[in-house]
Structure 1
Amino acid sequence: MIQEHKLRGCTGKARALIGALLLAITQASAGHDLEIHGSNTVGATLAPMLVTGYLEQLTGGSVSTGGTGAPNEKILSVGQDNDRISVLVAAHGSSTGFRALNEGQANIWAASRPAKPAEVEQLSDRADMTSLDSEHVIAIDGLAILVHPSNPIVRLSIENLARIFSGEVRNWSELGGPNREIHLYARDNRSGTWDTFSSLVLGKAYELHESARRYESNDQLSDDVARDPAGIGFSGLASVRDSKLLAISDGNAPALKPNQLTVATEDYPLSRRLFMYTLGNQTTTMASGLIEFALGQKGQDLVADSGFISQNPIAVKPEFDATVPRTFQQLTSNYQRLTVNFRFAEGRTRLDNKALRDLLRVKQYLRRHNRTPDDLMLIGFADAQSHELRAQMISELRALSVSTALRKNGLLDVAYTGYGQYMPVGDTGSPRNGRVEVWIKQ
């Protein structure tokens, strides 16, 4: 401890710096009312914004932000002395959040990827991490593929992305760009962003080339790509900053650029969900309150403000290109599309946890905009099947399943139809092809 008599000989500036250091040490060693550990994508900006909004709503007070002395950590607090509420957000990567939750250090695990089977199993004696009580989708993100603004490339396939980042393609001229050696920028191994990229792009067939520069921070990676005409990297959508964003295609599906509609509906091939995980009925009151705030209207408005994609539905009139069949254009000519897709748990017929929340969001949308269930139309889609009729039946059954679920939530007689295996948004076999879109009359 620094003694008072040693402070007397210091200049005013030095005393202020020492005082700030002592405060940081005290805060870092003090217990917090809530601790959120995990993803840098979630923790850098989004989680602090959600915590601030929740604490302001809870107390009516002004929230202050400080540090712990460690990078990528923030303390948000409100009140004074015995009435002070303190929340720690430590953003060191999704895997670190799992360990902190498992060891009892964190109340909430922030993750930019789903919980892995081994993690679910490790926590299974305390909670079912795949249940609605434990798994909370707080935002939708698009994995942004970034290049320098001067790069003439505008779209890439997932296959070519894998070849680039594995080192098989080493020069931009091989892709129709300038004669320039490619420089790789990637997130570090603890990052959920890296896990997502590794899973969706590299898969089991490719490995990241050893020349790639690795980063803990999305923003720093993006800034460095924006300064390097030969660079290519990936980050969360909220960290595009001054870099150029590429459109991405999956197999024979058309290339899509991440935007409000393509990411919110998860049609964009590198879209992903951002999560907060809790231990079911062991979740503390404050952690539960923050989760409910994050999932609600005000929390999702903050999600949009942070640069990610809100789950509050909005109506959009899509711009159809030449790949969209005339019959589909006619079917939807008097409709706009809501920025929500209903999806099913992998390999199952039941709606997944996000879809269960989206049922309520659609109901709230109709109430806010003074619309009725008669204004809605559900369109189901299926992945390619051995027979066209089978695909049509699957797509209609999916749409019927969502219509039935909406009925149970008080929305009666919502119209539905199926569009079979046409208009895929992913390669054959992609679970994203099996979806139910929501359309609303103009």
Structure 2
Amino acid sequence: MLGIAIAGIGLWAGLAHAAEVRLQLKGGGFEITGDLKVYDGKKYIVESPVFGLMTIDSNRFDCVSTNCPTAPTINPEFIGSPRAPLGNLGTTSWMGGSGIGTNFMPELVKSYAATRGFTVQQTIGTDNRDLIFTLEDKAGKEVGTFNVLRRGVGQGYRDLIDDKVELVWTSARMTDAQQADFTAAGLGRMRVEGNEHVFALDSMVALVSPDNPAVSISIENLAAIYAGRITDWAQLGLPPGKINVYAPVDGMGLLMHFKNTILSPRGLTLTPDAYRLGTVVEWSDEVALDPNGISFNFIGYIRNAKALNISTDCGLITRPTYFSAKTEEFPLSRRLYLYTKGRPKSLLGRELLDHALSPEIQSVLKAANFVDQEPELLGFKEQGARIAYALNAAAEDFDIEAMRNLITDIAPAERLSTTLRFVVGSFTLDPKALQDVQRLAQLLQKPEFKNRQVILLGFADAVGGYASNLKLSQSRAKAVEAALRNAGFSGAITKGYSELAPVACNDTPENREFNRRVEVWIK
């Protein structure tokens, strides 16, 4: 963290000597006093007699003493001699698959460069899978290099262990076997805050022509179509017609994702009769023109096709929207990850990572056809299918009075897409939820939320009795309220509603995990 201050010294005015400052948590309740070493406009570095050297986020703390810095500043005694070269950001190398490496990483570095006033020069490495981005300041001086190595996640993890790269990007969470490799290397847990970072979301959608009368499809039937077991629309209760199956060519990341999530878990393989197409545009546009066709694509590439709802065996139907992707309640949604061994060693690596997780990058993600993490609001009426399902739940899972109370709470409110989930078997927020809490606390302190009521609704899965699940749901809501207070926002109301209003069937461990959640509603 100290490198952030040191490398930017050329931008800051110096202090003659250390000055004691008092930093107060926004909203009060906690203070830190210490000698100010660095203030870069975003963070304070202070040396506290109680806590030692600390980096404090200025978005969460206010300086309330009489000698607070009014401009970026640095205490020369903190640097020592010799000083770091002016503007030297260093070199950082990141590795992962071709999809994110091609579609997002170039946009990330361009967006970052724009915030710093740099220009970017892009070249191809000796391995044509490598993109080399050279950053230059306004004088044309080289200040840093970003190597985007599109050599795959497996190689990326091996190189992260060996310190050959500082970060690995991936569209799938690190597996137990991959974690074991890091453990064997003495590197500890990777799927925790500080090492695991969710930078975006995505959803795969099933597509048909607007002229096709189909509205919904189950994942089981989608798999059966792509395996060649269902070949006519009449088998799904629709007007007869041979189903024309469209799929990406071999080697495409989307096809691998479809096989891994839809076909392989059911012991199925792709039908040889599928029409194979090579681009994301074709995967949507070809099926849009074929009333008997079916395809799949990422949610950002629906284009002129029609995306189908996903139905489940328990009767729950979910629409393919950006909102349902952001809540992670659309069954084909997924998280996109960045993995590091703590903070990257290079200054450029740290700043790029921070930018990849920042509010500023959300519009860039959306423009690149990913699902950003900017919270959205959705009214009660737009969630009618979910409420209807909840009102018709099995008797053993249902409490009519509690359901009336829930509807009373949410009918005049809007739901935020931010939905908090937990580490399995605990009340500990998972790494994404910890990131979300920080974003949420900042959002709720904006003027547009000043006179609105924030309600945190906790929910549980259907394992166990209603009463015990009620306590669990209440505890989850209180855990989020405490995390929000620590992040600088207080005043939220907490309520628990046991296993009511599930967002997934309670038939598998993975689905039950989705139901163990806290929703955020705004009145």
Q: Do they fold alike, i.e. is TM over 0.5?
A: yes
Specify which of 203, 206, 217 is matched with residue 145 of structure 1.
Answer: 206
Q: Deviations over 1:222-275 (max 9, x none)?
A: 455456555433333223334332211233253222223211111111111111
Do the aligned residues in 1 keep the contact of 2:227 with 2:270 (CA within 8 Å)? yes
Specify which of 284, 288, 293 is matched with residue 350 of structure 2.
Answer: 288
Q: Name whichever of 140-149 and 106-115 sits farther off.
A: 140-149
Matched residue of 1:55: which SS? helix
2: CA distance between counterparts of 1:177 and 1:396?
Answer: 48
Specify which of 113, 117, 125 is matched with residue 172 of structure 2.
Answer: 113
Structure 1 pair 121–247 and aligned structure 2 pair: CA distance change class (3 A): same
Alpha-carbon distance, 1:281 to partner: 4.3
1: CA distance between counterparts of 2:311 and 2:280?
Answer: 23
- Which residue identity is paired with 2:383? F
Q: Deviations over 1:392-427 (max 9, x none)?
A: 222222112212222232333421111221221111
1: CA distance between counterparts of 2:478 and 2:444?
Answer: 19
Gaps of 5+ in 2: 1-89, 392-402
Matched residue of 1:63: which SS? strand
Gaps of 5+ in 1: 1-31
Specify which of 279, 297, 302 is matched with residue 240 of structure 1.
Answer: 302
Q: Name whichever of 89-98 and 137-146 sits farther off.
A: 89-98
Structure 1 pair 34–221 and aligned structure 2 pair: CA distance change class (3 A): farther
Alpha-carbon distance, 1:182 to partner: 3.4
Specify which of 30, 46, 54 is matched with residue 104 of structure 2.
Answer: 46
Map of 2:135 onto structure 1: 78
Alpha-carbon distance, 1:356 to partner: 0.5
**Residue 254 (str. 1) matches residue 336 (str. 2):** no
TM-score after normalising by structure 1:
0.81
Specify which of 299, 302, 308 is matched with residue 370 of structure 2.
Answer: 308
TM-score after normalising by structure 2:
0.70
Structure 1 or 2: more strand by fraction: 2
2: CA distance between counterparts of 1:361 and 1:244?
Answer: 33
Equivalences for residues 14-163 of structure 1 within 5 A? 33-58=91-116, 60-67=117-124, 74-79=131-136, 83=142, 85-91=144-150, 94-95=153-154, 97-102=156-161, 104-124=163-183, 125=185, 126=187, 128-163=189-224
2: CA distance between counterparts of 1:373 and 1:223?
Answer: 46
Map of 1:321 onto structure 2: 384
Identical-pair percentage: 29
Map of 2:82 onto structure 1: none
- Which residue identity is paired with 1:250? T
Q: Deviations over 1:315-355 (max 9, x none)?
A: 33241325514723321123211110000113332110011
1: CA distance between counterparts of 2:256 and 2:421?
Answer: 22
Do the aligned residues in 1 keep the contact of 2:226 with 2:271 (CA within 8 Å)? no
Matched residue of 2:266: which SS? coil
Matched residue of 2:95: which SS? strand
2: CA distance between counterparts of 1:61 and 1:82?
Answer: 10
Map of 1:170 onto structure 2: 231
Matched residue of 2:481: which SS? helix
1: CA distance between counterparts of 2:335 and 2:181?
Answer: 22
Map of 1:11 onto structure 2: none
Map of 1:425 onto structure 2: 503
2: CA distance between counterparts of 1:119 and 1:357?
Answer: 23
Indicate the structure (1 or 2) with the bigger Cα radius of gyration.
Answer: 2
- Which residue identity is paired with 2:314? N
Specify which of 247, 260, 265 is matched with residue 204 of structure 1.
Answer: 265
2: CA distance between counterparts of 1:235 and 1:152?
Answer: 19
Q: CA RMSD in A?
A: 3.1
Larger relative contact order (CA 8 Å, sep ≥ 6): 1
Q: Number of aligned residue pairs: give it.
A: 408
- Which residue identity is paired with 1:79? E
2: CA distance between counterparts of 1:40 and 1:213?
Answer: 23
Alpha-carbon distance, 1:115 to partner: 1.0
Alpha-carbon distance, 1:147 to partner: 3.0
Structure 1 pair 41–232 and aligned structure 2 pair: CA distance change class (3 A): farther
Structure 1 pair 120–370 and aligned structure 2 pair: CA distance change class (3 A): same
Alpha-carbon distance, 1:71 to partner: 7.1
Alpha-carbon distance, 1:215 to partner: 7.3
Structure 1 pair 174–235 and aligned structure 2 pair: CA distance change class (3 A): same
Structure 1 pair 309–84 and aligned structure 2 pair: CA distance change class (3 A): same
2: CA distance between counterparts of 1:173 and 1:250?
Answer: 20
- Which residue identity is paired with 2:366? A
Structure 1 pair 373–340 and aligned structure 2 pair: CA distance change class (3 A): farther
2: CA distance between counterparts of 1:53 and 1:116?
Answer: 31
Alpha-carbon distance, 1:47 to partner: 2.2
Alpha-carbon distance, 1:45 to partner: 2.0
- Which residue identity is paired with 2:368? S
Map of 1:407 onto structure 2: 485
Map of 2:431 onto structure 1: 353
Alpha-carbon distance, 1:166 to partner: 2.7
- Which residue identity is paired with 2:136? G
Map of 1:330 onto structure 2: 408
